[in-house]
Homo-oligomer: A and B are copies of this chain.
């Protein structure tokens, strides 16, 4: 494990939400300012950080460049993008695409329909496995032994009164999803937000991706939300067909 690299990456993290001065960065790293200055010179030279004329540092365009190149290289995301958009337009709600990777599910695309509202999700953000539609939809169709291992490893943070909090309850929910063919998050992650989500199978029949429609309980009743399931499943099937 490289201490110096860890420090540089911590700088990137620290600058993600807000620009900072050298002093703030040095304090954050618990290093001398001269050390922080040299680290910043390196990350700045490679475009990962920019500083303005008042010596305030913020993340630079290189990071955006890498991130969007990565997104552009994701086959499933590329194939799914026009369908997400169409789904968002048809439903006017927020549509997500998530991927299971290294034991967590990450949002890799999002389309906000005309009536969508602000919610937790953002591209690059982890979707908690036990209480988000997209994560549940993916996990339900993973191999048995993997489902069991993951269920034991989850920290069952209760986000709302309705959040699933035990491995047994979670595995039961995954069984219901397998039977039904799609997942429902019924205010388990955020109060007033519910969603339906479907798995997307790869050409090899493996499920690593999921597609969801999220909305507020004020916008759509549970009944209305469930009425979107056929469209959702059809969209997932269309994406699967395009994947080959």
Residues of A within 8 A of B (CB): 1-2, 4-10, 12-13, 16-18, 38-39, 41-43, 45-46, 48, 50, 58-73, 101-102, 104, 106, 108, 122-126
Most B Cβ at <10 Å: residue of A58, A67, A122, A123: A67
Whose C-beta in chain B lies nearest to the C-beta of A69? B16
Cα(A126)–Cα(B68), bound, Å: 13
A66's contact among B12, B69, B73, B102, by CB below 8 Å, is which? B12
Q: Do A41 and B124 touch across chains, with their CB atoms under 8 A apart?
A: no
Cα(A141)–Cα(B8), bound, Å: 36
The 5 A-B residue pairs whose C-beta atoms are closest, nearest first, are A64-B124, A67-B67, A65-B124, A61-B106, A5-B8
Q: Do B102 and A42 touch across chains, with their CB atoms under 8 A apart?
A: no
26 A-B residue pairings within 8 Å (CB atoms): A1-B38, A2-B39, A4-B4, A6-B45, A6-B46, A8-B9, A9-B43, A9-B48, A13-B46, A16-B69, A17-B69, A17-B73, A18-B73, A50-B102, A59-B66, A60-B102, A61-B101, A61-B104, A61-B124, A63-B66, A63-B67, A63-B70, A64-B70, A64-B124, A65-B124, A67-B68
Contacts of A67 in B (CB 8 A): 63-64, 66-68, 124
Cα(A60)–Cα(B73), bound, Å: 13
Contacts of A126 in B (CB 8 A): 61
A41's contact among B1, B72, B102, by CB below 8 Å, is which? B1
Contacts of A102 in B (CB 8 A): 50, 60
Q: Do B122 and A42 touch across chains, with their CB atoms under 8 A apart?
A: no
Cα(A76)–Cα(B72), bound, Å: 24
Contacts of A8 in B (CB 8 A): 2, 5, 8-9
Cα(A10)–Cα(B122), bound, Å: 26
Q: Do A124 and B73 touch across chains, with their CB atoms under 8 A apart?
A: no
A70's contact among B2, B4, B16, B42, by CB below 8 Å, is which? B16
For the complex formed, measure the closest distance between the CB of A199 and the CB atoms of chain B, giving whole angstroms. 19
Cα(A41)–Cα(B6), bound, Å: 10
Contacts of A65 in B (CB 8 A): 16, 122, 124-125
Q: Do B2 and A69 touch across chains, with their CB atoms under 8 A apart?
A: no
Cα(A71)–Cα(B42), bound, Å: 22
